[in-house]
């Protein structure tokens, strides 16, 4: 293998069960595109009946697309189709995401004699049934490597799947650095210069904690009468969140702005970025907010505390506690000097630890281990060119 990353000509399959605008899907788009730019040959295996978001993200990257059909509760045809496609593309290593594709990808890898790397992003879908835990444990044991995106998730996997400490590696997520366009969200929302804007980015599911953010905003309404909240994302809770804002007298100050393709610009408009999640691995939106230099208030879940240097690069609060969230936000909003210091600390931390080049470098090292080629890869992380 040659080239700065040592991946020129390597044929890599990337497998994921869903293709909507979520964190795991965005991870795959970043990873496959960066590897393609470094000279590898990548094939993304996506659901045939999906919504097509991830395929659109990969358009123009050079990454090939294959589709699979997954029937419930088990799909031997899907497994056979993956095996055939692996052989057709002469795949050398597979990188699968979350439970379902770890299992199906593991079967196809076993049949074709190639290793598999599995990244678990935080879903505990496997945990509820012993049969799923056994299936995942078997898949992870077949000539491959397992990665968790946070230490807490790595510990949970080891406990749930009866794996040794060495059985699960932890690799932090990374994101590409981008030059954000001029923020226009404030004008879009009709905000005045004196209005303050909290921004959260995440699909509208209970685990993202947006309801607690609305509760916290209601607690702050008296002290900060010009405070607005913008939540970027989509999901089943949209109606419930609108009702919660209306019930708290915040209907004109809570803005559900939907799925956005201009997240850097949305972040650039924020006075404070808020991550009120109840559970996370290492969310990409947090890393993007750090690169954007936004002051951050976030729940202390998953790898968030480590990303924010245990509170040095952002304010940490207990998950599911609107009072604590409101107090933390009040402290940042009331102290512009502290807010600026937090934003600068977040940007420094992001540049040092969470650039995509570091993440890709670590995964390539893991690919090399799985392929038995460890030691042939240059160690210069700076050689990676983000997509």
User: Confidence band (pLDDT; 50, 70, 90) for 131?
Assistant: confident
| Residue 121 dihedral angles phi and psi, to the nearest 5° | -95, -10
Map tokens 């050398």 to a residue: 92
Query: Domain containing 291: what range?
Result: 185-353
User: Confidence band (pLDDT; 50, 70, 90) for 125?
Assistant: low
In a domain, 333, yes or no: yes
Alpha carbon distance 383, 47 (integer Å): 33
222 and 150 in a common domain = no
382 has pLDDT over 50:
no
Identify which has the larger pLDDT, 134 or 54. Answer: 54
Identify which has the larger pLDDT, 374 or 273. Answer: 273
Where residue 274 sits, what CATH number does that domain have?
3.40.50.2000
What are the angstrom distances between the C-alpha of 97 and each of 101, 164, 185?
6, 21, 33
* Confidence at residue 301, expressed as pLDDT on a 0 to 100 scale: 94
378 has pLDDT over 50:
no
Write out the two tokens for 3. 């080239």
Output the average pLDDT for the chain. 91
User: Confidence band (pLDDT; 50, 70, 90) for 374?
Assistant: low
Map tokens 């919660």 to a residue: 244
Alpha carbon distance 290, 307 (integer Å): 9
Q: Enumerate helices (H) and strands (E) in the chain, giving the number of each.
A: 15, 13
CB 257 within 8 A of CB 183: no
Q: In 10 A of CB 184, how many CB atoms?
A: 13
162 has pLDDT over 60:
yes
Number of domains in the chain: 2
Identify which has the larger pLDDT, 329 or 182. Answer: 329
Q: Is the peptide bond between 73 and the residue preceding it cis, with omega within 30 degrees of 0?
A: yes
215 and 269 in a common domain = yes
Taking alpha carbons only, the member of 338, 301, 344 closest to residue 321 is: 301
CB 359 within 8 A of CB 174: yes
Alpha carbon distance 149, 281 (integer Å): 6
374 and 337 in a common domain = no
In a domain, 337, yes or no: yes
Residues of the chain with pLDDT > 70, as a percent, come to 94
* Confidence at residue 225, expressed as pLDDT on a 0 to 100 scale: 96
7 has pLDDT over 70:
yes
In a domain, 32, yes or no: yes
215 and 110 in a common domain = no
- What mean pLDDT is predicted for residues 161-176? 89
- What mean pLDDT is predicted for residues 327-351? 98
Q: Tens of pLDDT along 50-80?
A: 899 999 999 999 999 999 999 877 889 999 9
In a domain, 213, yes or no: yes
Give the chain's end-to-end CA distance (angstroms, integer).
20
* Confidence at residue 47, expressed as pLDDT on a 0 to 100 scale: 96
169 and 62 in a common domain = yes
219 and 135 in a common domain = no
366 has pLDDT over 80:
yes
- What mean pLDDT is predicted for residues 175-187? 86
Alpha carbon distance 120, 151 (integer Å): 11
Alpha carbon distance 232, 244 (integer Å): 17
| Least confidently predicted of 24-28, 37-41, 150-154 | 150-154
Q: Residue 142 has what DSSP assignment?
A: S
* Confidence at residue 293, expressed as pLDDT on a 0 to 100 scale: 96
Residue 44, strand partner residues: 14, 65
Q: Tens of pLDDT along 293-319?
A: 999 999 999 999 999 999 999 999 999
* Confidence at residue 256, expressed as pLDDT on a 0 to 100 scale: 98
């Amino acid at each position: 293998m040659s080239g700065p990353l040592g991946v020129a000509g390597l044929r890599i399959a990337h497998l994921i069960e869903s293709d909507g605008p979520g964190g795991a899907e965005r991870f795959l788009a970043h990873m496959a595109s960066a590897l393609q730019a470094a000279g590898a040959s990548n094939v993304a295996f996506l659901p045939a009946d999906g919504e097509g978001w991830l395929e659109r993200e990969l358009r123009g990257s050079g990454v090939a697309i294959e589709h699979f059909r997954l029937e419930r509760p088990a799909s031997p045809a899907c497994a056979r189709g993956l095996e055939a496609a692996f052989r057709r593309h002469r795949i050398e290593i597979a990188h699968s995401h979350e439970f379902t594709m770890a299992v199906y990808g593991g079967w196809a890898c076993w049949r074709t004699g190639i290793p598999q790397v599995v990244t678990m992003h935080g879903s505990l879908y496997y945990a509820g049934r012993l049969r799923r835990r056994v299936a995942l444990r078997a898949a992870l044991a077949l000539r491959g490597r397992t990665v968790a995106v946070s230490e807490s998730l790595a510990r949970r996997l080891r406990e749930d799947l009866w794996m040794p400490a060495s059985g699960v590696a932890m690799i932090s997520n990374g994101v590409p650095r981008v030059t954000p366009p001029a923020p226009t969200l404030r004008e879009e929302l009709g905000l005045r210069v004196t209005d303050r804007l909290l921004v959260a980015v995440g699909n509208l599911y209970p685990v993202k904690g947006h309801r607690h953010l609305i509760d916290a905003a209601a607690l702050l309404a008296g002290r900060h009468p010009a405070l607005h909240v913008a939540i970027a994302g989509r999901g089943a809770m949209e109606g419930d969140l609108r009702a919660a804002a209306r019930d708290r007298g915040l209907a004109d100050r809570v803005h559900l702005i939907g799925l956005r393709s201009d997240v850097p610009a949305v972040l650039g408009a924020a006075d404070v970025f808020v991550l009120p999640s109840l559970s996370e691995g290492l969310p990409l939106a947090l890393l993007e907010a750090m690169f954007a230099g936004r002051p951050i208030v976030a729940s202390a879940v998953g790898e968030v505390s480590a990303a924010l240097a245990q509170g040095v690069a952002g304010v940490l609060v207990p998950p599911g506690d609107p009072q604590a969230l409101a107090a933390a936000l009040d402290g940042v909003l009331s102290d512009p000097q502290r807010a600026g210091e937090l934003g600068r600390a977040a940007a420094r931390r992001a540049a040092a630890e969470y650039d995509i080049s570091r993440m890709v470098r670590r995964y390539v090292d893991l690919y090399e281990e799985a392929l038995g080629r460890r030691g042939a890869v240059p160690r210069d992380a700076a050689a990676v060119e983000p997509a």
